[in-house]
Amino acid sequence: MATSGKQHTRLGEQAWNKMSKVNAEFFALTYGAMVMQLVQDFEDTAAVNAQLDTMGYNIGVRLIDEFLAKSGTGACADLRDTAETIAKVAFKMFLGVVAEVANWNADGTAFSVVLYDNPLIEFVELPPQHCELLYSNVLCGVIRGALEMVQMKVECRFARDVLRGDDLNEIRVELKEVLAEQMDDQYFEGM
């Protein structure tokens, strides 16, 4: 495990070094402006959270190809490999930060991605009336969308959030199903 962890870290750094980059501040401000727009559009905080998750999902189903093509990682061997790849390679390659994998459940189907340093929230404080807002929920959607494209159906939620007073950010990822290859209906005509 230790060696494989190191290997992931190295891959993450290599990928990050190759990428063309932009100021994180500009990115965080743009994200913040979008969240504000959603807060204005939906009265209900739960609806904003759901919308952020959906937008993340739409990003994730695209981002997976950017990731596969440019990170130099192949198909993951198992869920542990997947977890390390998300935390050490994907977070590093896209956001420039490394996350940790923690809190595996007993049967090895659920884990947490722990993020000490979240570039999305650099300038953000939640006012009391929005204390239920999952400001960075887009990240859950991205993970869910990206994994679905590699045939893993997962549930993803923010378990701890620095903006809501926790000491770190924790995204809980639970594997629900490994999807089978499914051919389009046209292949079953006349069979």
Partner 1 sequence: MIFNFYIFNRNGKCLFYKEWNRPQNTLQHDDGEEKRLMFGMLYSLQELVGKMGGGDGKGALQSFTTDSYTLNFFETASGLRFVLNTDNRAGDLTAILRHIYGNIFVDLVVKHPMFEPKAGVPLQLPMFEEELEKYMKSLPCFV
Partner 2 sequence: MASAAAAAQSAAGAAGAPGKRLVNDVCVDMLLLEASSYLLGRRGKPGEAEDLEAENFRELHHSAIARLESLGWDVGCRLTERLCQTKLLSGEPLEAVKFICKDFWTEVFRKQIDKLQTDHRGTFVLRELNFKWLAKYAPDKSRTDRNLAWFTLQFACGLVRGAMATLNQPATVKADFWDEKTDRSLLPAVSFTIRLKQA
The yes or no reply on residue 11 touching partner 2 (CB under 8 A) is no
Q: In whole angstroms, give the CA distance from residue 55 to residue 140.
A: 10
Q: Taking CB within 5 to 8 Å according to partner kind, which of partner 2, partner 1, none is near residue 149?
A: partner 1
Q: Any idea what DSSP says for residue 151?
A: T
The partner residues of 100 in beta bridges, in order of sequence, read 114
Kindly state whether residue 5 participates in binding partner 2, applying the rule CB under 8 A.
no
Choices 25-33, 89-97, 121-129, 176-184 (CB under 8 A): range interacting with partner 1:
176-184
Q: Which of 4, 119, 150, 157 binds partner 2 (CB under 8 A)?
A: 119
CA count, 13 A, side-chain hemisphere, 166: 17
21: left (phi over 0), alpha (psi -120 to 50) or beta: beta
Work out what residue 37 binds among partner 1, partner 2, none; the CB cut-off runs from 5 to 8 Å by kind: partner 2
φ, ψ at 46 (rounded to 5°)? -60, -35
CA–CA distance, 92 with 62 (Å, rounded to integer): 18
Site residues, partner 2 (CB under 8 A) = 16, 19-27, 29-37, 39-42, 51, 54-55, 58-59, 62-63, 66, 93-96, 119, 122-127, 129-130, 133
Q: Which residues bind partner 1 (CB under 8 A)?
A: 61-62, 64-66, 68-70, 74-75, 149-151, 181-184, 186-187
